Amino acid sequence: MTETSEQEQRRRRLTAWKNSRRILSRASADSTVGERLKALAADAGSAYDLDEWTDVYGDGVVAELERRVARTLGLEAAAFFPTGTMAQQIALRCWAGRTGNATVALHPLSHPEMHEGGALSVVSGLRTVHPTHAPRLPTADEVREFSEPFGTLMLELPLRDAGFVLPSWEELTAVVEAARERDAVVHFDGARLWECAPHFGRTLPEIAELADSVYVSFYKSLDGMSGAVLAGPASLVAEARTWRHRYGGQVFQQYPAALSALLGLERELPRLPEYVAHAKVVAGALAEGFRAAGLPWFRIHPEPPHTHQFQVWLPYAAEVLTEAGVRQAEETGVTLFRRWFADTPPGLSVTEVTVASHGLEWTAQDVVAAVRDFAGRLAAA
């Protein structure tokens, strides 16, 4: 597919999703520039005094965001970064310097291994090892008995590419303790940490205090424009600020991203438990709908979901599934699935389902009906 045709397909998908009267979640990227700016200008006053001066190199609204996140997580200090990739790389680099060990133990499906172009080794000179290759976070025994020394254990909560999966609270605390026994520090890749509290049955400060440092994102769960925070001890955060400047992350002004993050903390964070609970309803109804439609095979993972996001697999080509979903949105005003991607083994495709505020309007019967319509389009393809 040429670049032009891919852009045309993207515009078609975005238009179909935007015009849908029923959808499980709306992403900020689904809006036009004008719509996003208009909404931010209209709403941001509830989260911050818009008569204050704009930020300059991290003061003002950016500093206020850092304070609120540190307070929300119950940690000593926090620093804002333009991207989570930068925040996390710097955190792991700082810990390597402090522990004297440049080896990071993490999962092979974790974000630094899958989505950062090998930057941990290429940019920061770190080495990664994998206590497990199973599609879940490592167990305490796997960490305790791993054959090589490491200075930092990084845990992605939830592990997105394995299906947004989480350990139990008991498993998580045991893994952290096993790392401590090896004199390793623990860093949480908490890009989506916000929605983990219902699964663990613990508050965000209770979760965050298990780790030596925590990274959180604002656009993945809180509908922010961009940006991330690294939180932890004041001395670590101060060092991270120095490295942020060296990495080119000391941006002159960032108030749109900071304002949207504050709005997310105010509006979306309190609602995440609702989303997590309803994701279980949606996942169950999807399974019921697939069975009723007589599809040859399907998988929902995990079942029930651990957060408000989960994976769905079907035995069709990704292009066929994506086209069926777009046509359903265009012709009925209902978006059930977004994009699908080829997975292994060949012949299977996977999509990610997110249940947010718009998804709360769906009953189980609505989901089953939408699955029936979607399956009919596959049969006709």
Q: What is the pLDDT of residues 145-158, one digit of tens each?
A: 999 999 999 999 99
Mean pLDDT confidence for 291-304: 95
- How far apart CA 192 and CA 207 sit, in angstroms, is 13
Residue 163 predicted with pLDDT over 90:
yes
- Distances in Å between the Cα of 328 and the Cα atoms of 6, 17, 52, 323 are 20, 10, 46, 8
Predicted TM-score (pTM) of the model is 0.95
- How far apart CA 10 and CA 64 sit, in angstroms, is 36
pLDDT of residue 31: 87
Q: Which amino acid is at 352?
A: E
Cα–Cα nearest to 227, from 191, 194, 267, 193: 191
pLDDT of residue 373: 97
Q: Which amino acid is at 200?
A: F
Q: Any idea what DSSP says for residue 224?
A: -
- Quote the distance between the C-alpha of residue 56 and its chain's center: 28
**Secondary structure (3-state) at 92:** helix
Residue 2 predicted with pLDDT over 90:
no
Angle at which helices 255-267 and 61-73 pack, to 10 degrees?
A: 30
Strand partners, 190: 216
Backbone angles phi, psi at 111, to 5 degrees: -55, -45
**Secondary structure (3-state) at 133:** coil
Residue 282 predicted with pLDDT over 80:
yes
Cα–Cα nearest to 84, from 235, 268, 214, 245: 214
- How far apart CA 371 and CA 337 sit, in angstroms, is 10
pLDDT above 90 as % of the chain? 94
pLDDT band at 1 (very low <50, low <70, confident <90, very high): low
**Secondary structure (3-state) at 47:** coil
